[in-house]
Structure 1
Amino acid sequence: MLQDPSKKYRPFTPVALRDREWPNKVITTPPIWMSTDLRDGNQSLFEPMDGEKKMRMFKMLCQIGFKEIEVAFPSASQTDFNFVRTLIEEKHIPEDVTIEVLTQARAHLIRRTMESIKDARRVIVHVYNATSQPFRDVVFGMSKDEVKAMAVNAVTLVKELSADMPETEVVLEYSPETFTATELEFSLKVCNAVTAAWNATPERKVILNLPTTVEVATPNVYADQIEWMHRHLERRDSIILSLHPHNDRGTAVASAELGLMAGAERLEGCLFGNGERTGNVDLVTIALNMYTQGIQPGLDFSDINAIGRTVEDCNQLPIHPRHPYVGDLVFTAFSGSHQDAIKKGFAAQKAGDPWNVPYLPIDPSDLGRNYDSVIRVNSQSGKGGIAYLMESKYGITLPRRLQVEFSGVVQQHTDANGGEVSASDIWQLFSATYLEPAEQVRYGGHHLFEHGNGQGIRLSIEIGGVSYLLTGEGNGPIDAAIRALRGADIELQVRSFEERSISASVNGGEASACAFIEIAAQGREFYGVGMDTNIVTASIKAIVSSLNRSHMACTAPQLSRLSA
């Protein structure tokens, strides 16, 4: 049993704001979005992103529509410093995008940070120092005046160094770290001193970022704190008021939405809520919450699957299957009554009418997804679930999205034939769908060869009864095979790839490796599966399987420039 919390924890003192206005406000426009996936998100990973993944994430954030992206903590590591230099020197930053760099309020770190941004067009330099009583007394051993001086001295140094960089427009951002646990009057005093030291004007605004570094109270308290600051800040017309909520109490989204109602104009967070401890606020959820209320968020999540797969790969962290909007199961109903209501809602929905389908707050097609109604084999009948039977009977562990896709095949079978589905029925359906489909493309063989720092492949395939020899080069056999097919005008994009050993005999066969590949083609996504004793062969068979499943029109004229 938990001990008496009143003996160990003290409740947070509410803000004395009896005439608060935010409860009567509504969000009508999106905030200025700032992604910190490459900094706050990256520093919280088991294995921080390497340069290739950071670049891939940066380019995706630009494509989504972020105009402000915090890219690094350049004084913290040579890796971060080099990434900033690469972005600038190789001109990867679009003209309408401003990068942001973070530094503590310490002179040598600020100087190193300013070195990293040399020759950039426009940069936000984000300076912070903690201001709450535990940090003042325990961590720093400083008085309030000394903590305020730390902030002012840091801002003054950034201002002086900026004057020596006329080619770069430097925008100041200041965060009183641990704002939510700091006395409001002191937070106000520090922020006013910072804007005065920077000499902020309406033409040269300063970003004041008020973070819930750690959530210490309910979201309404944070909204009160933001509204209080919004009302009392000096030079308010020269300030962009920013939020940076964390999710320690699980209420970061609510804190952000109420904070925007309370007067903030800018929001910092990560895609899908990655970040220190329980994470930063989830920008995808907030943007799509706005979208469901008729507000165009200005961020493009129309291909949410591709974004999710990229984030999972770069962060090496899975997105929860019940995550709002993007989780693998959020558009899947297991309940029969839910399936019935959704089915009737789709039937009644007319083009041009407001969205009004039960259980679905958003049209899945707006996100490039569809509604997957999953038929579950009743485990209490002794048949087990589809995934359970495939693993326990045949030793094949299906990726979750393949489970959802294949369950639709099972559903079609049960709708047409009725009755229960046995383990052998499921295997026959799986084999016919993925391993032995009506083949337009047939695998013949392959030969690998070394190429520079990568690998090349000569791939023998048969298309419509005609044999072709395709050649491709890439960073590995899968990449090389994809490039070989693209050279034959067969366009496809790889969404995900997994390889696994088979832990049981498959109908007495000798296959020991199984590969699963998810591709995007013709505006849809398809899985392919390959099995073989050799994992590379299994992987190439999986690619061929995915092509056959996509029903691509691979005709001889498209391959006319190849030798048979």
Structure 2
Amino acid sequence: MKKQIILLDTTLRDGEQSLKFNLNTKEKIEIALALEKMGIDIIEVGFPISSPIDYQTSKELSKIIKNSKLCGLARCKKKDIDMVYKSLKKTGNFRIHIFLATSPIHIITKLKTTLNKVIEKISFMIQYARKYTDDVEFSCEDSSRTPINDLCYVVQTAINAGATTINIPDTVGYTFPQEYFNIISNLKNKVNNIDKCIISVHTHNDLGMAVGNAITAINAGARQIEGTINGIGERAGNCALEEIIMALYTRKKSMDFYTNINIHNIYYTSKLVSKICNIPISTNKAIVGSNAFSHSSGIHQDGIIKNRNTYEILNPRNIGLDKTEFNLTSKSGRAAIKYHMDLMGYKKNTYDINLLYSNFIKLADKKGQIFNYDLESLAFNSEKDNNTEYFTLKYFNVESNSDISVATIKLKCGKLSKLESATGLGVVNAIYKTIIKITNYNIKLINYILTAKSQTEESIGQVNVKIKYKKKIFNGIGFSKDIIKASVISIINCLNNIWRSNQVQKNILQINKS
């Protein structure tokens, strides 16, 4: 019979500790609701004693969250425990999470006390917390650097005092998986009352071992995993819960465990946390990174087309992501090009795949990533059209006064030159409005990213934009030491892609008529 792995999410507590700002109540509620919808068992809402906002937010969440159990963190101090109770008592179903360091380095240098006094304090404070709730978790801070006999003594005392969950955190991300397995196994074998509690683990990623350590701990007997969405947290971060969830789901035939998570909500929750916390998700991040379901190699793309399982062990739709993506680059093969042309509705007898592939390789070597509209242009436009920059920047000037900006731009449009000005809320908005006046294209700017190519005063700015036009997404890029000029160039680059796409439609109409 499969055993449940309980998931405690600490995004709102340990995750927030890594931010350069505090989440406000509204933001915490939004994340907590997403976690609840995702099916997280326990949400650690914060550290109520740490600030009035943390206390008030915890109190608000206790009125709103109904399905996930709420948990508050407390030091081994009465006032901390009291504050957790006061903030969460409305929910009627809450956990008090107490922690105290148990390793020699923490006891001697930080607490300036002895192990015996630490144990005495742990016992007293757990009993104190039990006045408020039967659900008390105790964390042996820095347990992975605590001598195993000392750790067994602490754990046994904590269980006798009334702790129902014992957390064995790898606080500084020091431990290797086999070492962690041995720690949990020793506790299971040496602590005579261990069956009266749930063993939990809270792993950090300082050596990149957080998820590996958590999976190893499960195999050794842990039944609760603590982590965060996207793995955010102190220093190098925490165990990424989405990775644990999908590891257990994907390897369910070989692992006798399950979670209560609605996996279809993973991607949405990940993107929400990234947006609210202002922490971008690494492109190669497991499960939720933009490259997690992207393929560039022609061999891989051909395999995926024939059978998804050749190069994908997860179905992106399981986590709420629309589809697999093929990055069209010079490494792509004919199969990927034909696949994209099929998706766009072009039958193979309407274009020459060999000629298209030859032109594709030339453009990919020059440009890098190729998009669908590039393929259309290569397949149906003349060589002259494809090499034409219909829109060319001749002059620009932008003046700003507080939030209001005025852009004046002169573009060469084919054989004509046009000059226009427009006012906008900010520089980019003013540029965007001016270009619309010049071209009469009904475009919508949906993404704008500015990147410095180096950290020096002479660094070149790179601007990437995405523009929506007639239900299609077009990409543009601009480089310049002047970031305003880079912004103008990126949008013009997009406009030329749109112009070529329009030429494609004209040429297809001509072909159909003839």
- Out of 446, 449, 471, the residue aligned to residue 516 of structure 1 is 446
| CA separation of 1:510 and 1:217: change in aligned 2, threshold 3 A | same
Deviation at 1:236, TM superposition (A): 2.4
Does 2:1 match 1:39? no
8 Å CA contact 2:159–2:194 kept in 1: the answer is no
- Out of 321, 329, 348, the residue aligned to residue 376 of structure 1 is 329
Distance (Å, rounded) in 2 between the aligned partners of 1:231 and 1:159? 27
Q: What is the letter of the counterpart of residue 325 of structure 2?
A: D
| Greater per-residue helix proportion | 2
TM-score between the two structures when normalised by the length of structure 1: 0.62
Secondary structure of the structure 1 residue equivalent to 2:222? coil
| CA separation of 1:417 and 1:138: change in aligned 2, threshold 3 A | same
Distance (Å, rounded) in 1 between the aligned partners of 2:363 and 2:80? 62
Residue matched to 2:126: 155
Distance (Å, rounded) in 2 between the aligned partners of 1:313 and 1:261? 34
Secondary structure of the structure 2 residue equivalent to 1:329? coil
Secondary structure of the structure 1 residue equivalent to 2:279? coil
| CA separation of 1:238 and 1:507: change in aligned 2, threshold 3 A | closer
| CA separation of 1:422 and 1:250: change in aligned 2, threshold 3 A | farther
Q: What is the letter of the counterpart of residue 92 of structure 1?
A: I
Structure 1, residues 486-515: CA drift from partner, whole Å, max 9, x if none?
Answer: xxxxxxxxxxxxx77869x9699489x973
Deviation at 1:140, TM superposition (A): 1.3
Deviation at 1:306, TM superposition (A): 2.3
Residue matched to 2:40: 66
- Out of 177, 180, 183, the residue aligned to residue 147 of structure 2 is 183
Give matches, 1:70-469, under 5 Å: 70-88=44-62, 91-94=63-66, 96-160=67-131, 162=132, 169-198=133-162, 206-294=164-252, 297-346=259-308, 357-367=309-319, 368-376=321-329, 383-386=366-369, 407-411=371-375, 413-414=377-378, 422=386, 424=388
Distance (Å, rounded) in 2 between the aligned partners of 1:249 and 1:366? 29
8 Å CA contact 2:5–2:225 kept in 1: the answer is yes
Deviation at 1:215, TM superposition (A): 2.0
Distance (Å, rounded) in 2 between the aligned partners of 1:237 and 1:43? 33
8 Å CA contact 1:517–1:528 kept in 2: the answer is no
Q: What is the letter of the counterpart of residue 140 of structure 2?
A: P
Deviation at 1:321, TM superposition (A): 0.9
Deviation at 1:207, TM superposition (A): 0.4
Secondary structure of the structure 2 residue equivalent to 1:322? coil
Deviation at 1:362, TM superposition (A): 1.0
Secondary structure of the structure 1 residue equivalent to 2:287? coil
Distance (Å, rounded) in 1 between the aligned partners of 2:32 and 2:387? 45
Structure 1, residues 252-291: CA drift from partner, whole Å, max 9, x if none?
Answer: 1110101000011111101111111111101101111122
8 Å CA contact 1:374–1:408 kept in 2: the answer is no
Deviation at 1:242, TM superposition (A): 0.7
Distance (Å, rounded) in 1 between the aligned partners of 2:363 and 2:447? 32
8 Å CA contact 2:81–2:96 kept in 1: the answer is no
Deviation at 1:415, TM superposition (A): 6.1
8 Å CA contact 1:514–1:530 kept in 2: the answer is no
Deviation at 1:246, TM superposition (A): 0.8
| CA separation of 1:153 and 1:216: change in aligned 2, threshold 3 A | same
8 Å CA contact 1:410–1:426 kept in 2: the answer is no
| CA separation of 1:281 and 1:332: change in aligned 2, threshold 3 A | same
Structure 1, residues 84-122: CA drift from partner, whole Å, max 9, x if none?
Answer: 11123xx3121x321000011123322333322233311
Distance (Å, rounded) in 1 between the aligned partners of 2:85 and 2:177? 36
Residue matched to 2:482: none
Identity value in percent: 24
Gaps of 5+ in 1: 1-26, 163-168, 201-205, 347-356, 387-405, 429-498, 519-525, 532-537, 539-544, 546-564
Distance (Å, rounded) in 2 between the aligned partners of 1:376 and 1:421? 21
Deviation at 1:421, TM superposition (A): 9.9
Distance (Å, rounded) in 2 between the aligned partners of 1:120 and 1:55? 15
8 Å CA contact 1:103–1:113 kept in 2: the answer is yes
Distance (Å, rounded) in 1 between the aligned partners of 2:247 and 2:141? 27
| CA separation of 1:54 and 1:145: change in aligned 2, threshold 3 A | same
Structure 1, residues 155-202: CA drift from partner, whole Å, max 9, x if none?
Answer: 122134x2xxxxxx441000010000001111111111111122x6xx
Q: What is the letter of the counterpart of residue 305 of structure 2?
A: K
Deviation at 1:345, TM superposition (A): 1.8
8 Å CA contact 1:103–1:126 kept in 2: the answer is yes
| CA separation of 1:158 and 1:329: change in aligned 2, threshold 3 A | same
Secondary structure of the structure 1 residue equivalent to 2:366? coil
Distance (Å, rounded) in 1 between the aligned partners of 2:205 and 2:429? 35
Distance (Å, rounded) in 1 between the aligned partners of 2:391 and 2:39? 44
| CA separation of 1:128 and 1:385: change in aligned 2, threshold 3 A | same
Distance (Å, rounded) in 1 between the aligned partners of 2:390 and 2:259? 43
Secondary structure of the structure 1 residue equivalent to 2:211? helix
8 Å CA contact 1:516–1:527 kept in 2: the answer is no
Distance (Å, rounded) in 1 between the aligned partners of 2:219 and 2:447? 44
Deviation at 1:234, TM superposition (A): 2.8
Secondary structure of the structure 2 residue equivalent to 1:516? strand
8 Å CA contact 1:85–1:116 kept in 2: the answer is yes
Distance (Å, rounded) in 2 between the aligned partners of 1:234 and 1:420? 82
Secondary structure of the structure 2 residue equivalent to 1:79? helix
8 Å CA contact 1:106–1:154 kept in 2: the answer is yes
Structure 1, residues 407-437: CA drift from partner, whole Å, max 9, x if none?
Answer: 2443455566799995758999xxxxxxxxx
| CA separation of 1:426 and 1:244: change in aligned 2, threshold 3 A | farther
| CA separation of 1:376 and 1:181: change in aligned 2, threshold 3 A | same
Structure 1, residues 16-38: CA drift from partner, whole Å, max 9, x if none?
Answer: xxxxxxxxxxx954411111111
Structure 1, residues 378-410: CA drift from partner, whole Å, max 9, x if none?
Answer: 689773235xxxxxxxxxxxxxxxxxxx82443
Deviation at 1:335, TM superposition (A): 1.6
Deviation at 1:69, TM superposition (A): 0.7
Q: What is the letter of the counterpart of residue 383 of structure 1?
A: K
| CA separation of 1:424 and 1:220: change in aligned 2, threshold 3 A | farther
8 Å CA contact 1:305–1:369 kept in 2: the answer is no
Residue matched to 1:432: none
Residue matched to 1:452: none
Q: What is the letter of the counterpart of residue 250 of structure 1?
A: G
Q: What is the letter of the counterpart of residue 149 of structure 2?
A: E
| CA separation of 1:46 and 1:268: change in aligned 2, threshold 3 A | same
Residue matched to 2:422: none
